[in-house]
Amino acid sequence: MALSDFLKSKEPDKKTSPFLHTLFDGFFTFLYSPNHTTKGGVHVRDGMDLKRLMIHVVLAMQLCFVFGTYNMGHQHFVSLGVHTGFVEAIHLKLVYGLIQLLPIFIVANLVGLGIEFWYAAKKGHGIEEGFLVSGALIPLISPPDIPLWILALSVAFAVIIGKEAFGGTGMNVLNIALLSRVFIFFAYPTTISGDEAWVAGLARDANDIWVSNYSWIHTGFFNGIFEFFGANDLFDPAAKMVDGYTGATPLSLAAAGGWEAVTNVYTPSQMWWGSIPGSIGETCKPFIIIGALILIATKVASWRIMLSMVVGAAITAMLLNAWDANAFMAVPWYYQFYMGSFFFAMAFMATDPVTAASTNRGKIIYGFLIGMVGMIVRVLNPAYPEGWMLAILFMNVFAPLIDHYVLESNISKRLKRA
């Protein structure tokens, strides 16, 4: 209590310093859970607040952060034709991944939280904690080499237009993290599509050859540390992309040539465990599933949405297999789950409690339709061989309508019984 009393004694005045008070309130409530509970015999007495709930989601993503950090480094060195074994030069891959990830994470959170702090100060209320999750999700769904200024624009657009314009946390119609990504997709399409978007740290030299794009922090600072500890593997500023390398994702290969084109480059095991190019946190399926199970066990996310989304995607993929009008349709339905970001979208995007359906039956309908629409977009849309971003945003809009008809149906049944 001594520390909390000391901090409270330093609390800025809300009237004279509204912005400083907002910053203090956000920091204090991050450190301490509420010291009050609901009152009354019919209420559950619980000290859990929104910030604590959001932290559960962020904790469930941590394995994705760790793997994504390492895989960024691994894919970079594979493109150079060195340290191609997944557990080779671990120190280089981890350091490289951290150097790439930290600026993305910092920019996303500085911009998003900065806007939320400003709005909170202007409105005269405490900081809304919804961006805790969005600030963790946006780096995980971003390309590894995304320009930071584009990222900052996309986050500002999503927070201002997608949330604050609707009234703040809990009032947004669309998922904020996905809105940030869809802004990049439509405003800067080459940044988030094509084979070059998914492997970081390469640039064309004067002879139009792809070479490593290291800074002083790689070749000066960290190489000096590695040499001090006697490491033989260092960042090589003269490294070039290996001949014949492609940074294509399994989905782009499948769209062009079907399952055979995919397996010519990647094995099913690589796709399942995630040692492939892709968005930072979306490649390792087992770690994402562990995160999903954590959310289900803590009752933070709905298992109904997850299960129905799997069923909807599987049934649609089977129907497309039966149709078999092109090579992508012929990909075995169960291998559709090995490619792309289905599990990440299922666990962390579709289950957003603000933008998803809220009734139990509505959650089943909502999840099933996301699975169905997403698979259709993935396989039948020639411009974008992935569908979960668009499917979830589309169903976000229809979630209130789904809940409305579920409630109307329940009311009608009860009236008939009466």
List pLDDT tens digits, range 136-173: 999 999 999 899 999 999 999 999 999 888 887 778 89
Report the pLDDT averaged over residues 3-31: 59
Q: What's residue 245's pLDDT?
A: 86
Instruction: Look at residue 126 and tell me if it is in a domain.
Output: yes
Mean pLDDT for all residues in the chain: 87
Instruction: Look at residue 330 and tell me if it is in a domain.
Output: no
Q: Quick one: DSSP state of residue 345?
A: I
Instruction: Look at residue 155 and tell me if it is in a domain.
Output: yes
Instruction: Tell me the pLDDT tens digit for each residue of 355-406.
Output: 999 999 999 999 999 999 999 999 998 777 788 999 999 999 999 999 999 9
User: In whole angstroms, how far apart are CA 262 and each of 266, 335, 339?
Assistant: 6, 11, 10
| Cβ-based neighbours of 375, under 8 Å, separated by 6 or more | 312, 313, 316, 317, 320, 336, 387
* CB 371 within 8 Å of CB 312: yes
Q: What's residue 243's pLDDT?
A: 86
Instruction: Look at residue 358 and tell me if it is in a domain.
Output: no
Q: What radius of gyration, in Å, describes the C-alpha atoms of the chain? A: 23
Burial (Cβ within 10 Å: 0-12, 13-18, ≥19) of residue 9: exposed
Q: Any bridge partners for residue 210, and if so which?
A: 204
pLDDT band (50, 70, 90) for residue 222? very high
Instruction: Look at residue 174 and tell me if it is in a domain.
Output: yes
Instruction: Look at residue 69 and tell me if it is in a domain.
Output: yes
Q: What are the tokens at 264?
A: 């010519």
**Helix, strand, coil share of the chain (percent; to 5):** 65, 0, 35
Q: Tell me the percentage of the chain whose pLDDT exceeds 70.
A: 85
d(C-alpha 160, C-alpha 203), whole Å? 33
d(C-alpha 109, C-alpha 60), whole Å? 18
Which residue, 181, 197, 100, 163, is CA-closest to 390?
Answer: 181
pLDDT band (50, 70, 90) for residue 51? low
Instruction: Look at residue 60 and tell me if it is in a domain.
Output: yes
Q: What's residue 175's pLDDT?
A: 93
First to last CA, the chain: 56
Burial (Cβ within 10 Å: 0-12, 13-18, ≥19) of residue 175: buried
Residue 102, domain extent: 8-32+50-247
d(C-alpha 189, C-alpha 68), whole Å? 22
DSSP 103-133: HHHHHHHHHHHHHHHHHHHHHTSPPPTTHHH
Instruction: Look at residue 380 and tell me if it is in a domain.
Output: no
Q: Assign residue 102 a region (left: φ > 0; alpha: ψ between -120 and 50; beta: otherwise).
A: alpha
Q: What's residue 156's pLDDT?
A: 96
Instruction: Tell me the pLDDT tens digit for each residue of 197-209.
Output: 888 998 888 888 8
User: In whole angstroms, how far apart are CA 40 and each of 36, 37, 44, 46, 285?
Assistant: 13, 10, 9, 12, 44
Total count of domains within the chain: 1
Instruction: Tell me the pLDDT tens digit for each residue of 206-219.
Output: 888 889 999 999 99
Which residue, 123, 125, 116, is CA-closest to 25?
Answer: 125
d(C-alpha 143, C-alpha 136), whole Å? 14
The amino acid that residue 170 corresponds to is G
d(C-alpha 56, C-alpha 300), whole Å? 8
Q: Assign residue 315 a region (left: φ > 0; alpha: ψ between -120 and 50; beta: otherwise).
A: alpha
pLDDT at 132 over 80: yes
